[in-house]
Amino acid sequence: MPRALDSATMMNTEVVDYTHFDGHTYRFSSTSKKENESKYLCNKYRLAGDTALWGTRRQSMSTGGTTPGEKCPGSLIVKHEFGMSGGDHPYIKVEHKCVDNREVTSAVARGVKDYRPQLERISPNIEHGNFLSRKVIEEVLREFKNAEKNDKNLWQNITGGNTVRKWIPDMYDNNVKRVALKVIVETALKGYITIVQGRYPTLKYFKVGALKSLPGAKSQYVGHGGRLHSDYPQSVEELEPRFRPVSIIVGLNSFNFMWLNDRTSRESEIRKMTVYPGEMIMFTNHCLHAGGENSTNEEQTRLFAYLASDESHFPSGEVTTWDWQREDDNPLISKPSSNANTAIVRRPGTNQIRLISGRVASVGGVPDRG
């Protein structure tokens, strides 16, 4: 299956040099007027005498031979006038073999831009596909009620929620009751996860969970002392965008959500929305957010999932809260702390990247969801 690059459509206003794109060098190959697309081929060749290294065609013949080394099969396709924006949409059609030889340098340091929307709200077509209809929502909520009766410790307090915001912390602990509930949640989220993986094919791993807010619950923003938070260690933002994890929340009941539109926005510009039953919000780690208040007399239950390109990227039991620059009456969000550890290590012989956890500002106690 072709792999989308950053799942992004490059806008018409920006000219992109695809011969130097996403950390690879390419040579132009051809343009198809029929398909309205251009093809670029990777410039790397395997170096003679050392099968682990790749270089230019000339470098692969540097030992005096007349035949170049193995050519990397990596190919980049650029769809032109794609989608509503009418811009370019680049994607990897054939995977690179030379990727393991790239310098272990963060995507940020290499200037790779993240074109992905930081937050999207999706209302799927309930009539088609495996999505949450009103009937299915009622069935899932009934399963949660049954699980609560049989497991008094099912719901635990969540960070920023005091005792009125809850989550299920150990749905993957091999407890027979929890495993059965996990299967129900995975089934309920299947259609939504498919949407995300269709958009971001590299995010092949997922981990599901559930949350609820009791009547009268204040927002996580209040619970965290006037701070928004992000779900993953800041080190994930050192990965190339297509490898960075995303989070989704799907409503069983309506629930409120708060977020900052961008990291140059001020505290007064925090946005709020109500997500309705069956709807999904999908957001990247760049999205600073918080669960909103429950001002109703009813419990608000929702499902969530983390999606990642490697299982090591799942949150390990913490959220990152962000301080404001309080010297201003209407402050901007603070920058990551100077001692944040954002090193990455590439696993030998694989494309996988192991994160070395970093911290920014203060850290909450258990994984959050909105």
CB 346 within 8 A of CB 107: no
Q: How far apart are the C-alpha atoms of 270 and 287, rounded to whole Å?
A: 11
pLDDT reported for residue 103: 41
| 3-state secondary structure (DSSP) of residue 18 | coil
Of these ranges, 120-129, 164-173, 295-304, the one predicted with the greatest mean pLDDT is 295-304
Find, among 296, 303, 260, the residue nearest to 280 by Cα.
303
* 180 domain-assigned: yes
What is the average pLDDT across 320-342? 66
**In this predicted model, which residue has the larger pLDDT, 194 or 179?**
194
Q: Side-chain half-sphere of 144: how many Cα atoms within 13 Å?
A: 23
In a domain, 113, yes or no: no
Give tens-digit pLDDT for 19-49: 988 778 899 999 998 888 899 999 998 887 6
Asked if pLDDT for residue 362 goes beyond 80, the answer is no
Q: CA 27, CA 36: separation in Å to the nearest integer?
A: 18
Tokens 């001020």 sit on residue: 266
In this structure, the answer to whether residues 82 and 132 fall within a common structural domain is no
Domain count, the chain: 2
In the chain, count H helices and then E strands.
3, 23
278 found inside a domain: yes
Alpha-carbon separation of residue 214 from 161, 218, 290 (angstroms): 10, 9, 16
Higher pLDDT, 352 or 150: 150
Task: Based on the fold, state whether residues 159 and 261 are members of the same structural domain.
Answer: yes
Higher pLDDT, 72 or 358: 72
Least confident of 218-222, 252-256, 321-325, 335-339: 335-339
pLDDT at 178: 81
Average pLDDT value for residue range 326-330 = 80
Residue 356 has pLDDT above 60, yes or no: no
Domain that holds residue 134: 119-363
Pair 205, 186: CB distance under 8 Å: no
Strand partners, 48: none
The domain boundary residue, chosen from 101, 130, 165: 101
90-127 confidence digits (pLDDT tens) = 777 787 888 654 443 455 545 577 889 999 999 998 88
Give the chain's length.
370
Strand order in the sheet with 3-4: 3-4, 87-94, 75-82, 37-42, 24-32, 20-21
- CA geometry: angle at 77 spanning 73 and 79, to 5°? 175
pLDDT of residue 82: 59
For residue 354, the cross-strand partners are 345
Which pLDDT score, from 0 to 100, does residue 281 have?
98
Amino acid, res. 273? M
Of 44-58, 120-134, 154-168, 246-260, highest mean pLDDT: 246-260
Please say whether the beta carbons of 282 and 167 come within 8 A: no
What type of residue sits at position 138?
A: E
Residue type present at position 137? I
Per-residue pLDDT tens over the stretch 122-158: 999 888 878 999 999 999 999 999 999 988 889 999 9
Structure tokens at 274: 């109500």
Residue 147 within a domain: yes
pLDDT at residue 213 tops 90: yes
* 124 and 86 inside one domain: no
DSSP 355: E
Q: Looking at the structure, do residues 346 and 215 belong to the same domain, yes or no?
A: yes
Are 138 and 273 in a shared domain?
yes
> Among 50, 75, 101, where does a domain finish?
101
pLDDT of residue 107: 56
The CATH number covering residue 273 comes to: 2.60.120.620
Comparing 202 with 104, which gets the higher pLDDT? 202
Residue 109, domain member (yes or no)? no
Task: State whether 51 and 166 are in the same domain.
Answer: no
pTM of the model: 0.67
More confidently predicted of 7 and 163: 163
In this prediction, residue 335 carries a pLDDT of 56
Question: What are the CA-CA distances from residue 207 to residues 40, 153, 171, 291, 345 (Å)?
Answer: 36, 20, 9, 19, 23
Please indicate, yes or no, whether residues 68 and 176 belong to a single structural domain of this protein.
Answer: no
Q: Can you read off the two tokens belonging to residue 42? A: 């990777």
Distance CA 41, CA 27 (A): 5
Q: pLDDT-derived band of residue 260, with 50, 70 and 90 as boundaries?
A: very high
Averaged pLDDT score across all residues of the chain? 80
Residue 297: predicted pLDDT: 97
Are residues 211 and 79 located together in one domain of the fold?
A: no
pLDDT(208) > 80: yes
Domain annotation covers residue 114: no
Query: What are the structure tokens assigned to 89, written together?
Result: 């949409």
* Alpha-carbon gap, residue 237 to 114, rounded angstroms: 9
Question: What letter represents residue 54's amino acid?
Answer: W
User: How confident is the model at residue 140, as a pLDDT?
Assistant: 97
75 inside domain: yes
- Residue 135 or residue 312, greater confidence: 135
Helix H segments across the chain? Answer: 134-150, 176-199, 220-223
Instruction: With beta carbons less than 8 A apart as the criterion, state whether 345 and 104 touch.
Output: yes
Are residues 124 and 81 both part of a single domain? Answer: no
Residue 285: per-residue pLDDT? 92
Q: What is the pLDDT of residue 134?
A: 94
| 210 and 321 fall within a common domain | yes
Residue 110 falls within a domain, yes or no? no
Say whether pLDDT at 174 is over 90. no
> Looking at the structure, do residues 59 and 125 belong to the same domain, yes or no?
no
Same domain, 126 and 93: no
3-class DSSP state of 346: strand
Which stretch of DSSP H or E encloses residue 176?
helix 176-199
